[in-house]
């Protein structure tokens, strides 16, 4: 039996692309960005876990005596007053996006381990080979669906009026674009892994059948 079919090789390729894109999107702060040509913009870049502001006024201070400038981690413990606006920076829809994209990222990490086992360590002669491919397909499918929910929620609610200032001049950045492409690549990879699992299952059945016939012919 051949080690992998064409679908298996292509699935590995799509998975590698999806893993890199989702990992980069997970850690970079350009999900929502401001038009750089707008000199008075308060927002610079906004990501899942870190944000960059040009001059963001404290939304809880009606006198606007405190402004936040520069890039910070969402859970920054050092900047005075930053923890007070954490609820503003991470409303319900943002927490939903963070949760589902984190699930996607964790599933891709698990899928990476399974894909390495499939691509480098395991072969069709192993009893759990088909199960390994099925597991990789399921984990990658969960990653794609979770990531899909995350990007849909973010796309629907992130650039609405009343949240980030200057929403008319804000647009979705390259991190968000990478997340979308990575989610699509993960779903394609999952579908190809399912195809590969069926192919390897049929090959195992055909090999077992041919071995049985050979045994019968030898005995006769």
Q: How is the chain split into domains, by residue range?
A: 6-30+91-212
Is residue 83 pLDDT above 80, yes or no?
yes
List the CATH code of the domain at 6-30+91-212. Answer: 1.20.140.150
Stronger pLDDT, 166 or 139, i.e. the higher one: 139
- What's residue 191's pLDDT? 96
The residue that leads in pLDDT, 135 or 200, is 135
Q: Which residue is associated with the tokens 């086992």? A: 117
* pLDDT for position 207: 58
pLDDT of residue 124: 64
Question: For residues 4 and 14, which has the higher predicted lDDT (pLDDT)?
Answer: 14
CA distances 20 to 38, 72, 85, 98, 214, Å, are 32, 24, 31, 18, 46
Is the pLDDT higher at 5 or at 199? Answer: 199
The length of the chain, given as a count of residues: 220
**What's this model's pTM, rounded to 2 decimal places?**
0.86
For residues 152 and 218, what is the distance between their CA atoms, to the nearest angstrom? Answer: 61
- Which of 125, 131, 144, 132 has its CA nearest to residue 17? 144
Of the ranges 68-82, 123-137, 168-182, the best mean pLDDT one? 168-182
pLDDT at 218 over 60: no
Residue with tokens 């606006």: 85
DSSP-assigned beta bridge partners for residue 71: 52
Q: Is residue 14 classed exposed, middle or buried when 0-12, 13-18 and 19+ CB atoms within 10 A define those classes?
A: buried
pLDDT digits (tens, 9 = 90+) for 107-151: 999 999 999 988 887 766 677 888 999 999 999 999 999 999 999
% of the chain at pLDDT higher than 90: 51
Residue 1: band (very low, low, confident or very high) from pLDDT cuts 50, 70, 90? very low
Residue 187 pLDDT > 60:
yes
- pLDDT of 64 higher than 80: no
Chain-centroid distance, C-alpha 219: 55
Beta strands in the chain (DSSP E): 32-34, 43-46, 50-57, 67-73, 170-172
Q: Which residue has the higher pLDDT, 220 or 51?
A: 51
User: Which H/E stretch holds residue 6?
Assistant: helix 6-27
Q: Which tens digits make up the pLDDT trace of 6-60?
A: 888 999 999 999 999 999 999 999 999 988 787 778 888 999 999 999 888 877 7
Instruction: Report which of 211, 205, 54, 194 is spatially closest to residue 124, judged by C-alpha positions.
Output: 205
Q: Tell which wins on pLDDT, 40 or 72.
A: 72
**In sequence order, which residues have a C-beta less than 8 Å from that of residue 42 and are 6 or more positions away?**
34, 53, 54, 55, 56, 57, 165, 166
pLDDT attached to residue 186: 97
Which residues of 39-100 form beta strands (DSSP E)?
A: 43-46, 50-57, 67-73
Dihedral, CA of residue 163, residue 167, residue 171 and residue 175, to nearest 10: -20
């Amino acid at each position: 039996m051949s080690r992998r079919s064409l679908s298996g090789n292509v699935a590995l390729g799509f998975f590698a692309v999806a893993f890199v894109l989702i990992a980069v999107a997970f850690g970079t702060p350009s999900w929502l960005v401001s038009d750089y040509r707008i000199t008075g913009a308060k927002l610079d870049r906004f990501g899942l876990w870190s944000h960059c502001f040009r001059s963001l006024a404290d939304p809880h201070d009606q006198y606007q005596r405190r402004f936040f400038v520069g890039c910070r981690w969402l859970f920054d413990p050092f900047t005075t007053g930053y923890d007070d606006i954490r609820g503003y920076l991470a409303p319900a829809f943002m927490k939903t996006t963070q949760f589902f994209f984190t699930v996607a990222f964790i599933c891709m990490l698990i899928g990476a381990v399974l894909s390495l086992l499939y691509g480098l360590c395991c072969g069709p002669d192993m009893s759990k080979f088909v199960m390994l491919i099925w597991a990789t397909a399921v984990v990658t499918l969960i990653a794609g669906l979770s990531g899909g929910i995350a990007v849909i929620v973010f796309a629907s609610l992130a650039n609405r009026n009343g949240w980030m200032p200057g929403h008319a001049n804000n647009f979705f950045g390259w991190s968000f674009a990478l997340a979308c492409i990575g989610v699509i690549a993960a779903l394609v990879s999952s579908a190809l892994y399912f195809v590969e699992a069926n192919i390897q299952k049929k090959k195992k059945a055909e090999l077992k059948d041919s071995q049985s016939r050979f045994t019968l012919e030898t005995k006769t």
